Amino acid sequence: MNLQGLRVIITGAAGGAGITIAQRFHAAGARVHVADIDEAAIEAVSDGDDGISASRCDCGNADQVARLFAEADTRLGGLDALINNVGIAGPTAAAEDVSPEEWDRTIGVNLSGFFYCVRQAIPRLKQTGGGSILNVSSTSARTGLPMRLPYAVSKVGVLGMTETLARELGPFNIRVNSILPGWINNARGNAVIERKAAELGVDLEQMIAENTEFISMRTRIEPEEIADMMIFLCSHQARHVSGQHIGVCGNAEYER
């Protein structure tokens, strides 16, 4: 789809699926400003490419988010879309063993960080005359995920944020939707399953088979599939799609 001239900020976009999303939007004609906490990664993703600029930003810090949007203003000259993609895994532990610091950091990035970004984006989108906000949640928001309470709670919170903002911002022609990715076939997603296989002492292929058993289509998801859905939702073709939670997951039935 043609996104020629679309001005978009993508958080958490200098690595993992984020970099694929940024490159895919750029290839579709968008002007992209990415944010990431990894200084070396943002230099690499923006180096020598006028279509993708970048800022170092810890999205769990409201002051750094304000600086991110000010820098993006300089590079983009306005805003048409925000993609809240930043996220951390948080601890893997029984609920009673999660420390307050681990809880606060996970919620701080995965939920408060989204709020800090939409708070900056909304007046800019209103000035534009409308636009799109995409919040990346997770299939874990629907299935639950034992031993990952802070992460799962943060992703459920994203759904509530999406529904509330869609109602609040609809009159301003600002559309708000959630993407719920499934098991992404990239280094980060595969590292999780490799670590789990090692902890349980089972063969990696067996672990992959056991996890895809609870996905209706028995498949992992390529990062490009997430990016393509986002491109559609930011395009004119999706101009009346708002308040939706869209899974790109092969129908994840269950997680363990």
> Which of the residues are catalytic?
151
Q: How far apart are the first and last CA of the chain?
A: 36
Segment (H or E) for 155: helix 149-169
In this structure, what DSSP letter does residue 253 have? -
Classify 143 as helix, strand or coil: helix
**215: Cα separation from own chain's centroid:** 21
Residue 8 CA to residue 13 CA, distance in Å, equals 12
Residue 235 CA to residue 231 CA, distance in Å, equals 6
DSSP codes, 55-92: EE--TT-HHHHHHHHHHHHHHHSS-SEEEE--------
Q: How do 174-181 and 131-136 pair as beta strands?
A: parallel
